[in-house]
Amino acid sequence: MIRLAKRIAAASTRTAGRKDGAARRMAGALLVGGMLALAPLAQTAQAAGTGAQTAYPIVLVHGMLGFDTIAGIDYWYGIPGELRAQGAKVFVAEVAATNSSEVRGEQLLKQVKDVLALTGASKVNLIGHSHGGPTARYVSGVAPQLVASVTTVGSPHKGSKVADLLGNTLPEGSLSRAVVASAVNAFSSLIGILSGNNTPQSGLGALNSLNTAGSAKFNAKFPDGVPTTACGNGAELVNGVRYFSWSGTQPLTNVFDASDYPLSLLSVVHGEPNDGLASACSSHLGTYLGSYRQNHLDEVNQMLGLRDLFSVSPVTLYVNQAAKLKQLGL
């Protein structure tokens, strides 16, 4: 476009009279048009980055009652897009909205193998939110050769006191427990239908995985990265897999976010810093990267990006973690 404008401009200098001025005006218009046409390309090149371009694909693993996308709304609100804009290959897993860590883990393992077959990569970086953390740990436990790293966000690795409360309120074998379990299963199935994910659901399976007793049993089978102290760091590198974690500790972060209020009520159950559903100490796995002014849904940039305006963006945390993995050659 610009070279064409220059040729027209050169030709115009050989014309006479009023044609000379008209040709020059045309050349100028073409030059401006060419610059405007190239401007979006320049902006795109500038916006696209490589800061999150990890060596291995990133697989995001949702938590309990999670999904990939429903009605155009992502569970990981704005996160996959920004990671991709910064050079990462990102895949969003679709596992059961509610089920045990082992069942969800087997579903994830199959999808990890699909990602490896599709990309030609030898490993993946798993990032799990909430119950997605133990789900990812199952895969790294049974197939460490397929996993470069596991990062968990707000995952109750040592159990959630909210799950303990539910279990105590709904005694084993009681009618109330059966009714609530049926309702949760129905809601989970609805999530599956709306998101196009037809997988078996089990609210009781999820509850028994996320309470303190169930988490202890799971940790005995899959101890990699789990701290041996109450609120310390675990081993970062185990069986060739690196482990990281972070969490939120502020249940009420935005008065316009309706989800903040039930999370704030649930937060009193913990008796220690928490995000509403998981305590910060229970969220520790491998190297703990920090606690942030976020609640359990803020950790995946929900609802719809509403958050504490004075805290770091949840999206930024994921991009920063991808950059860290890149620096480690992962």
- Give the phi and the psi of residue 191 in degrees, each rounded to 5: -60, -45
Tokens of 115: 């990602």
| Residue among 62, 100, 101, 130 flagged as catalytic | 130
| Residue among 259, 296, 298, 308 flagged as catalytic | 296
Rg of the chain on CA atoms, in Å = 25
Q: Which CA distances in Å does 30 have to 18, 26, 36, 38, 59?
A: 19, 6, 10, 12, 47
Residue written as token pair 């077959």 = 117
Amino acid at site 184: V
DSSP code string of 291-309: EES--TTGGGTTTTT---T
Tokens of 191: 């999530």
| Residue among 68, 164, 275, 298 flagged as catalytic | 275
Distance of CA 105 to the CA centre of its chain: 16
Q: Is residue 296 annotated as a catalytic residue, yes or no?
A: yes
Q: Is residue 267 annotated as a catalytic residue, yes or no?
A: no
Spatial contact of 308 and 254, defined as CB atoms under 8 Å apart: yes
> What contacts 8, CB < 8 A, 6 or more positions away?
23, 26, 27, 30
Please count the residues of the chain: 330
Q: Which CA distances in Å does 175 have to 31, 180, 186, 206, 207?
A: 77, 9, 17, 18, 16
Alpha-carbon distance of 251 to 296, in angstroms, equals: 7
Tokens of 276: 């509403």
Spatial contact of 146 and 139, defined as CB atoms under 8 Å apart: yes
Q: Is residue 202 annotated as a catalytic residue, yes or no?
A: no
Which residues are catalytically annotated? 130, 275, 296
